Amino acid sequence: MHAWWKESIFYQIYPRSFYDSNNDGIGDLEGIIQKLDHLKSLGIDCIWLSPIFPSPHHDFGYDIAEYCAVDPIFGSLDIMDNLIEQASIRNIKIILDGVFNHTSIEHPWFLDSCRNGEKKDWYIWNEKANNWTSVFGGSAWTWHPIRKAHYLHSFAKEQPDINWSHPEVQKEILKIMEFWYKRGISGFRLDVFNCYAKDTQHTDNPKRKDILGLIGGFAYSFINQHHVYDRDRPELFPILRDMRKLADQYNAVLIGETLDENLRYNRASEYVGPELLHLTFHFQLLHTKWNPKKIKDSCMQLQKDFQSQCPTIVTSNHDFPRQSKRWGADERKRRIMALLTLTLRGVPFIYYGEEIGLPHISIPRASIQDPVGKKFWPFFSGRDGSRTPMQWSNDKFCGFSKTKPWLPTESKNLCTVHVQEEDPSSILHLYRALITLRKSHPVLHKGALKWLSSSKESLCYERYLEQERIVICINLSSRTITTPVQSGTIIFRIGSADLQTLQPYTAILIS
């Protein structure tokens, strides 16, 4: 079977914010169809769509009320079929967001379960709540007056956790996946898959005694315990094996999002294998602020953790502030990180808008949409800032919609696809050039990686495959440094860099 996913470049679309075709202020599937040529010209291979299913949108689609349908705000199954077809004409595959740890409180399964119906055991109920805490704060249990018991929700109370220990549930989820494979979907990104299995005895999690535990004691209770009984359970493995068997029948890819409790705890690589998931996310680089040494350490750690597997390279997504916020406004940093994303060993994930360096937009309190932002403001204002509309043109609302969008666009219309198309030195042109480069050199998408020695401000690595070798030198710092490798032919360059010196935030590729 062709491991197409290993050589692909993925592009994440947050459908509410890509392009609004019917001017109701919310992006939709027809809008994605209309913008496919942008993606084609960028050169990506596979789109990951954040949830498009019917939902009351308590967590913007990550609370699904029906798995085999499309939310009318996004379109319909017919439009979805058309999107799959139009994408495939352009050689672009589509994967969906499989949110299978929980459903919406409005899902018919949950409504039935609450009434003690046929599906009474499809969710996790307990008369007495234990100490498990929710990622979105507070207890993970909520009392249900009709069922007269507590139900478990690892996230918001509108997102009840499915009972994966029930064989019928497992079968049903596989059926849902097959429904989409048959429609031409090429796989799933599995939302917080390492939470599926829980200890069926509901044993209390042990309390954390370190500094994070103390902070969690009063600020954010999720981190006040070690999540040993509600995450990463051994019962998870047979579930993943069944999913993989089915995926293999359709040559589909499974990409797992591991919920990680803290930075030093990352088990993402344990779930990758020929009978397990194809890929998992490792969020080390998302957690890393701009600090050359830390970025360097994160890249090395990532390669080490996935020594015998294929890593993913994720530098942005819908849950984290955009690069411009995490790493600062200086565009040179984003340019060298684009090069890093597309030349490290691993499967790159580009989050919509990063190809034009979309700014992170601060949302005033009254306009916050994200439930997490509403709950934790002013300590945390939520994830809206990285979910703002894609900026296409100089028209009002940056050409995203003719109506005021659900989240604001940048007021000055400076950062748009249109402006950057006209400017050969723009970051959009850089992304295209890097993608073309990666595709034209098998060593960049297939080769192994060896670290070469370099100062603490810089990264230097060699990609090699049979006879082909490419060396990458990146200066991550604001100082001019000596180029770590000084011989060969420069085949690509960002900024003022040569075989003697690398100016601040520059890079070269040498063959």
Q: Which residue is nearest to ligand GLC (CB)?
A: 62
Amino acid at 495: G
Distance CA(508)–CA(511), nearest Å, equals 10
* Residue 402 lies near Ca ion (rule: CB under 5 A): no
112 is an active site residue: no
Task: Name which of 45, 36, 44, 31 is nearest 3 in CA terms.
Answer: 45
State which of residues 4, 7, 24, 76 lies at the interface with Ca ion (CB under 5 A).
24
> Apex CA 264: angle with CA 130 and CA 103, to 5°?
45
Among 45, 59, 158, 230, binds ligand GLC (CB under 6 A): 59
Q: Which helix (H) or strand (E) holds 301?
A: helix 292-305
| Residue 99 binding ligand GLC, by CB under 6 A | yes
DSSP three-state, residue 218:
helix
Q: What's the CA gap between 430 and 435, in Å, rounded?
A: 9
Cα–Cα distance for residue pair 441/181, rounded to 1 Å: 31
191 interacts with ligand GLC by CB under 6 A = yes
Query: What are 181-185's contacts with CB under 8 Å, separation 24+?
Result: 181/246, 181/247, 181/249, 181/250, 181/252, 182/250, 183/77, 183/80, 183/81, 183/84, 184/81, 184/84, 184/85, 184/88, 184/94, 185/84, 185/94, 185/95, 185/96, 185/252
Q: Residue 370 binds which entry of ligand GLC, Ca ion, none, with Cβ cut-offs from 5 to 8 Å by kind?
A: none
In angstroms, the CA 145 to CA 287 distance is 40
For 142-202, the three-class secondary structure string (H helix, E strand, C coil) is EEECCCCEEEECCCCCCCCEECCCCHHHHHHHHHHHHHHHHCCCCEEEECCHHHCCCCCCC
3-state SS record for 230-286: CCCCCCHHHHHHHHHHHHHHCCCEEEECCCCCCCCCCCHHHHECCCCECEECCCHHH
Out of 257, 261, 354, 457, pick the active-site residue: 257
| Three-state helix/strand/coil letters over 321-347 | CCHHHHCCCCHHHHHHHHHHHHHCCCE
Q: Are 43 and 439 in contact (CB under 8 A)?
A: yes
One of 12, 28, 29, 61 touching Ca ion (CB under 5 A): 28
Nearest to ligand GLC of 48, 122 (CB atom): 48
- Residue 26 or 338: which CB sits closer to Ca ion? 26
Question: What does 319 bind: ligand GLC, Ca ion, none (CB cut-off 5 to 8 Å by kind)?
Answer: ligand GLC
Residues 343 and 509: beta-carbon distance below 8 Å: yes
161 near ligand GLC, judged by CB under 6 A:
no
Q: Which is nearest to 177 in space by CA: 242, 91, 272, 120?
A: 242
Of the residues 20, 161, 191, 370, only one is catalytic, namely 191
Tell me the two tokens of residue 486.
Answer: 């000084």
In the set 81, 112, 319, 462, which binds ligand GLC (CB under 6 A)?
319
List the structure tokens of 230.
């509600």
Q: Which residue number, 20 or 191, has a Cβ lying nearer to ligand GLC?
A: 191
Nearer to Ca ion, 266 or 388 (CB): 388
Nearer to ligand GLC, 107 or 318 (CB): 318
The minimum distance between CB 94 and ligand GLC, in angstroms, equals: 18
Residue 22 CB, nearest approach to Ca ion (Å): 5
Nearer to ligand GLC, 100 or 122 (CB): 100
CB of 98 to ligand GLC, least distance (A): 11
59 binds, among ligand GLC, Ca ion, none (CB under 5 to 8 A by kind): ligand GLC
Both tokens of 253, joined, read: 């890819």
Q: Which of 53, 141, 155, 461 binds ligand GLC (CB under 6 A)?
A: 155
Shortest distance (Å) from residue 485 CB to ligand GLC? 38
Count H helices and E strands in the chain, helices first: 15, 18
By a kind-dependent CB cut-off of 5 to 8 A, residue 28 interacts, out of ligand GLC, Ca ion, none, with Ca ion
Block residue for tokens 């967590």: 59
Annotation says 191 is catalytic: yes
User: Quick one: which of 10, 48, 62, 222 contacts ligand GLC (CB under 6 A)?
Assistant: 62
The answer to the question of residue 313 lying near Ca ion (CB under 5 A) is no
Residue 100: contacted member of ligand GLC, Ca ion, none (CB under 5 to 8 Å, by partner type) = none
Residue 355, contacted partner among Ca ion, ligand GLC, none, CB below 5-8 A by kind: none
Q: Is 196 in the site for ligand GLC (CB under 6 A)?
A: no
Residues 6+ apart with CB under 8 A from 391: 353, 356, 358, 398, 399, 400, 409, 410, 413, 415, 416, 417
Indicate the residue among 156 and 474 with the shorter CB distance to ligand GLC. Answer: 156
Q: Which does 320 bind (CB under 5 to 8 A by kind): Ca ion, ligand GLC, none?
A: none
Of residues 1-20, those binding Ca ion (CB under 5 A):
20
Site string for ligand GLC, 245-264 (x = CB under 6 A): ------------x-------
x/- letters, 122..151, toward ligand GLC (CB under 6 A): ------------------------------
User: What is the nearest approach in angstroms of Ca ion to the Cβ of residue 406?
Assistant: 9
| Cβ–Cβ under 8 Å, residues 140 and 181 | no
Residue closest to Ca ion (Cβ):
28
Question: Quick one: which segment of 21-29, 44-52, 101-109, 204-212 binds Ca ion (CB under 5 A)?
Answer: 21-29
**Which of Ca ion, ligand GLC, none interacts with 62 (beta carbon under 5 to 8 A by kind)?**
ligand GLC
- Interface with Ca ion by CB under 5 A: which residues? 20, 22, 24, 26, 28
- Interface with ligand GLC by CB under 6 A: which residues? 59, 62, 99, 155, 191-192, 257, 318-319
Name the residues annotated as catalytic.
Answer: 191, 257
